[in-house]
């Protein structure tokens, strides 16, 4: 059996090596390392894929979130509502910009922001909501957009884990996640579903004026070289990463299919077992399985984690500490929060290896060890 990994970017690379190597050499020979045709072509292709008007490439997903909040001209003290059960990057930029992160509860089935909890957290100072499509499953965007409209709030989707996910509205129409809110942010961190070979990210919007601001902020607030109209930052996607991403974008749907196939294999093995709960799929979202995350009901999660490790099977806890309990947010009243679903999830979730290169032999082994532990 091939060794087990949470993600196998190496085997994936081997399959597209010729094309990738040629593209990288092409950039090296062109000497156009920052910006230029390769970056623009990738942005155009990604905009087509994600069915969105503008794609602004940037250096990473964390920057994408920061640039978004800057473009919305949020002011110090403005409140930004996010789920506490997410990766720290969703919220960190808000604090950096002296905004006030407000943490709300997640839905216990989708693990994404709970619209009812979100609405309750709105105050006159609330300016924006950042829903996260956690693990590759969409948040309830229809409800979130309705609340946002009612209260005149911006929505920035954190789509870092869900690129390629389709959202279906009640009337049957569909949109890609990341193109539903005012702004969508994504990350091309190597282990993400569309992963670069280094850091990279992008911002999506259908709003022309916002697109203009986002673009300017990512390059020192300039529209014209050496004329700086607003305070920005330096967050560029380099051409080597864009060349690689453009090739991988063509494979993205096939990569998602491979993840879904692996998820279906796990589902079949685990469904109906009362000791664990398989990932939920809401009717409005298909799932792109950035993670395959089980809920452990009757057995000890950490013991399962250890048991798998002892058998050479990696598994991960995303995330052991929710944002509201992170030391960096102590000053935002962390201990005053009462988020029982979030706290419960931090003790009950476990993510199994899922990626495009898993084979049946590997999955059979993983499944057998999970079941062996549960049935012990
Ligand atoms: C990966 C990730 C980010 C940050 O992306 P980087 O490219 O690592 O900066 C933000 N939010 C979520 C939910 C993520 O998973």
Best residue for ligand 1 mutational test, from 89, 93, 163 (most atoms within 8 Å of Cβ): 89
Q: Is 84 in the pocket of ligand 1 (CB under 6 A)?
A: no
- Render 292-351 in DSSP notation, one character per residue: EEEEE-SS-HHHHHHHHHHTT---B-S-SS-GGGSGGGGGGTGGG---HHHHHHHHHEEE
C-alpha 61 – ligand 1 centre gap (Å): 5
Reported as a single tens digit per residue, the pLDDT across 272-296 is 999 999 999 999 999 999 999 999 9
On whether the CB atoms of residues 132 and 112 are closer than 8 A, the answer is yes
Pairs from 89-93 (Cβ < 8 Å, separation ≥ 24) = 89/61, 89/62, 89/65, 89/160, 89/187, 90/65, 90/130, 90/132, 90/158, 90/323, 91/130, 91/323, 91/329, 92/62, 92/328, 93/62, 93/65, 93/66, 93/69
C-alpha 114 – ligand 1 centre gap (Å): 20
Q: Is 235 in the pocket of ligand 1 (CB under 6 A)?
A: no
Reported as a single tens digit per residue, the pLDDT across 350-372 is 999 999 999 999 999 999 999 99
Reported as a single tens digit per residue, the pLDDT across 90-146 is 999 999 999 999 999 999 999 999 999 999 999 999 999 999 999 999 999 999 999
Q: Is 62 in the pocket of ligand 1 (CB under 6 A)?
A: yes
Helix 360-374 crosses helix 239-270 at what angle (to 10 degrees)? Answer: 50
What is the pLDDT confidence band of residue 333, given thresholds at 50, 70 and 90?
Answer: confident
Report the pLDDT averaged over residues 262-268. Answer: 98
Question: What 3-state class would DSSP assign to 213?
Answer: helix
Q: Is 315 in the pocket of ligand 1 (CB under 6 A)?
A: no
pTM, two decimal places: 0.97
Report the pLDDT averaged over residues 140-162. Answer: 98
The closest alpha carbon to 159, from 188, 121, 200, 127, belongs to 188
What's the chain's average pLDDT? 97
Q: Is 161 in the pocket of ligand 1 (CB under 6 A)?
A: yes
Best residue for ligand 1 mutational test, from 57, 93, 156, 158 (most atoms within 8 Å of Cβ): 158
Reported as a single tens digit per residue, the pLDDT across 64-76 is 999 999 999 999 9
- Indicate the helix (H) or strand (E) that contains 217: helix 208-218
Res 335 pLDDT > 90: no
Q: Is 187 in the pocket of ligand 1 (CB under 6 A)?
A: yes
All domains of the chain in start order, with CATH: 9-249 (3.40.640.10), 252-375 (3.90.1150.10)
Nearest protein Cα to ligand 1, atom 10: 89
What is the pLDDT confidence band of residue 1, given thresholds at 50, 70 and 90?
Answer: very high
């Amino acid at each position: 059996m091939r060794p087990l990994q949470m993600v196998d970017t190496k085997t994936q690379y081997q399959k597209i090596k010729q094309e990738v190597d040629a593209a990288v050499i092409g950039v090296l020979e062109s000497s156009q390392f920052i910006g230029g045709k390769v970056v623009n072509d990738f942005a155009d292709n990604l905009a087509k894929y994600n069915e969105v008007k503008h794609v602004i490439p940037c250096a990473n997903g964390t920057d994408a979130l920061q640039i978004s909040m800057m473009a919305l001209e949020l002011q110090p003290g403005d409140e930004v509502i996010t789920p506490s059960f997410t990766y720290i990057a969703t919220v960190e930029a808000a604090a950096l910009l002296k905004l006030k992160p407000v943490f709300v509860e997640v839905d216990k089935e989708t693990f994404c922001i709970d619209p009812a909890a979100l609405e309750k957290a709105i105050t006159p100072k609330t300016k924006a909501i950042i829903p996260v499509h956690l693990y590759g499953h969409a948040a309830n965007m229809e409800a979130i957009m309705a609340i946002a409209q009612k209260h005149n709030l911006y929505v920035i989707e954190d789509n870092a884990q869900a690129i390629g996910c389709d959202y279906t509205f009640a009337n049957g129409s569909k949109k890609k996640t990341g193109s539903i809110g005012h702004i969508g942010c994504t990350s091309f961190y190597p282990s993400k579903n569309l992963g670069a070979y280094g850091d990279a990210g992008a911002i999506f919007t259908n709003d022309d004026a916002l697109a203009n601001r986002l673009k300017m902020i990512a390059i020192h607030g300039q529209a014209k070289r050496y004329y700086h109209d607003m305070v920005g930052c330096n967050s560029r996607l380099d051409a080597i990463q864009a060349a690689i991403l453009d090739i991988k974008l063509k494979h993205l749907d096939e990569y998602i299919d491979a993840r879904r196939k692996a998820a279906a294999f796990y589902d079949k093995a685990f469904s109906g077992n009362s000791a664990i709960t398989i990932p939920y799929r809401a009717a409005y979202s298909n799932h792109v399985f950035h993670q395959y995350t089980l809920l452990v009901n009757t057995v000890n999660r950490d013991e399962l984690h250890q048991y798998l490790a002892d058998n050479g099977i990696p598994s991960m806890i995303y995330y052991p500490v929710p944002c509201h309990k992170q030391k960096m947010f102590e000053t935002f009243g962390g201990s005053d929060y009462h988020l029982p679903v979030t706290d419960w999830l931090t003790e009950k979730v476990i993510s199994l290896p899922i990626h495009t290169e898993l084979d049946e032999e590997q999955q059979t082994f993983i499944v057998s060890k999970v079941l062996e532990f549960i049935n012990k």
